[in-house]
Structure 1
Amino acid sequence: MTEEDSNGEDSGGRGERIAKWAARAGVASRRDIERMIEEGRVKLNGQVLQHPASFVTDGDIVQVDGKVIENAARTRLLRYHKPAGLVTTHKDPEGRPTVFEKLPPGLPRLISIGRLDLNSEGLLLLTNDGELARRLERPETGWVRRYRVRVNGFVDEKALAALAKGVTVEGERYGPIEAGLDSRKGDNAWISVSLREGRNREVRRVMAHLGLQTSRLIRVAYGPFQLGVLPKGAAEEVPMKILREQLPKVEPKHRAPKP
């Protein structure tokens, strides 16, 4: 283990910053872990941490909410077909069913890469690696999120095309959105939507801005990963070879010892 320098990389002998260590162990993102530390929920060797500038070395015991956190396992990425009616959180204060309660059995603790709201469905990427989640969520990754949207109302195709220049809705500015009419039947229509940021309820808010009511929202792709024919409620692991091809710097957290 090494000491972290001013750029956040290891460079000496004190170990690894606890937020980075816990993120790699799949607890949560770095930001969420730092918040947990501020809330007094994290212990290092039995002592409640007071600040995130703490380091973990081999043999240290880390607890979150009283549970001992195992060291980082190999990085895993899964495609999950989220049904409507589930919230993308580990615990919901309103008692609604969550994605993580409905996952197939036998999976490790996972966190989501981005979110889908309660009534949205489709592709949700899950990982046990908080650092990977943080990396794939960042706009700098440049990955396009693609959706199919069923709406009710009159679809103005010129207004859809104009979204490519960005749009301001209730004082909030959204970046370029590619949107096109797929089909129309009576007052209902299907629209394909592609965007790079994917802010909270962005698609629904933009459709409402155009006078359209969203009745169904399905994410069909997140960057190079596709929903495809994955059944609702099913999770399928992305092979490490594929993950490496899409993110060349991603490596397994633990390698098998050489014979």
Structure 2
Amino acid sequence: MARGHKTPRWLEAARRRGGEAPSPDGRADWLSRALGRAGVLPRADAEVAIREGRVELDGRVEREPFAPVHTGSQVKVDGRVRELSLATRVLMFHKPSGPVVHGSDPEGVGTVFERLRAVLPEVLLGYEWLAVGRLDRDTTGLLLFTNDERVVRHGTAPKTHLTKRYVARVAGRPGEVALQRLRDGLALEDGPTRPAGATLRAPDVVELTLTEGRHHQVKRMLAAVGHPVRELHRESVGGVALDVVEGAWRELRAEEVQEGLGFRSE
């Protein structure tokens, strides 16, 4: 097989078992991910349990984390039948400055996943929580988490044009010319930006609303108009506005997911 086209591990596992590969529409999955989606065990813990022989799939011990699971499959963990139906859940978290949106932090400050899990109740600790997009280490504010990869794709896809509102304290005092350049769109090294909403909240505080989410975009846009960012905070994503204190979380209501984020599972 040509380089760059390696067969996914879950597909290899399905072929070895002679089974049908998981379908891309969410009606089938692989075992370790299905356990994380359903809130039984986070994926890393699920892989350990599977390899230790603690998981049964359709009446036999399954030691392959990428074994395909289908609608109607029976799964037992430590002898207990576990329901693997997917209910989409989305959390808002007020990210503090410091932790990174990565699986590990070489600088030792910590990750947002560690910060989130430290404040979640036990009933939610079995889920594999995925961040919907990223915030820089020093950026604070609204960060969404979900157990459903479809929400991640929806929230980060360029074609969605989901609005994101930021507030930045900047160097200097931006005038109307700088604000209008932001509104019109700028030419950055990776291409022109879409027009943005730009207003002043204070002489050195800019509210910037984007409909795209490129790498360091807010910082690059404000630097391009001569006002580098000193502090940055995200207030909202789509119609969902941050309303919890720093370091706290809450679960979004169904209408917030559907109307605020524009995501519908069917």
Pairwise same-fold verdict (TM > 0.5): yes
Q: Is contact 1:24–1:72 with CA below 8 Å preserved after alignment?
A: no
**Normalising by the residue count of structure 1, what TM-score does the alignment of the two structures yield?**
0.70
Q: CA deviation at 1:168?
A: 1.6
Matches within 5 A, 1:13-162: 16=28, 18=30, 22=33, 25-26=36-37, 45-47=62-64, 55-57=68-70, 58-59=73-74, 71-103=84-116, 104-106=119-121, 107-108=124-125, 109-162=128-181
Q: Is contact 1:147–1:193 with CA below 8 Å preserved after alignment?
A: yes
Give CA-to-partner distance per residue, 1:207-253, whole Å, 9 cap, x none.
1112212111110110010013x1100001112243344446337xx
Are residues 1:174 and 2:193 paired? yes
> How many matched pairs?
217
**Which of 224, 239, 243 matches 2:253?**
239
Matches within 5 A, 1:194-213: 194-213=209-228
Q: CA deviation at 1:23?
A: 7.5
Q: Equivalents in 2 of 1:210, 1:141: separation in Å?
A: 27
Q: CA deviation at 1:56?
A: 2.9
Identity value in percent = 32
**Helix, strand or coil for the counterpart of 2:137?**
coil
Q: Equivalents in 1 of 2:165, 2:34: separation in Å?
A: 27
Runs of 4+ in 1 over 6 A off after TM superposition: 2-5
Q: CA deviation at 1:171?
A: 4.7
**Normalising by the residue count of structure 2, what TM-score does the alignment of the two structures yield?**
0.68
1:195–1:248 Cα change, 3 Å: closer
Q: Equivalents in 1 of 2:96, 2:140: separation in Å?
A: 5
Q: Partner amino acid for 2:28?
A: E
Q: Equivalents in 2 of 1:243, 1:249: separation in Å?
A: 8
Q: What CA RMSD, in Å, does the superposition of the two structures yield over aligned residues?
A: 3.5
Give CA-to-partner distance per residue, 1:17-67, whole Å, 9 cap, x none.
549x9379449xxxxx9xxxxxxxx98943476xxxx843324799xxxxx
Q: Is contact 1:25–1:129 with CA below 8 Å preserved after alignment?
A: no
1:18–1:173 Cα change, 3 Å: farther
Q: CA deviation at 1:194?
A: 0.5
In structure 1, stretches of 5+ residues that fail to align are 28-32, 34-41, 63-68, 252-259
Q: Partner amino acid for 1:201?
A: H
Q: Is contact 1:78–1:236 with CA below 8 Å preserved after alignment?
A: yes
Q: Equivalents in 2 of 1:171, 1:61: separation in Å?
A: 49
The more displaced of 117-126 and 136-145 is: 136-145
Q: CA deviation at 1:179?
A: 1.4
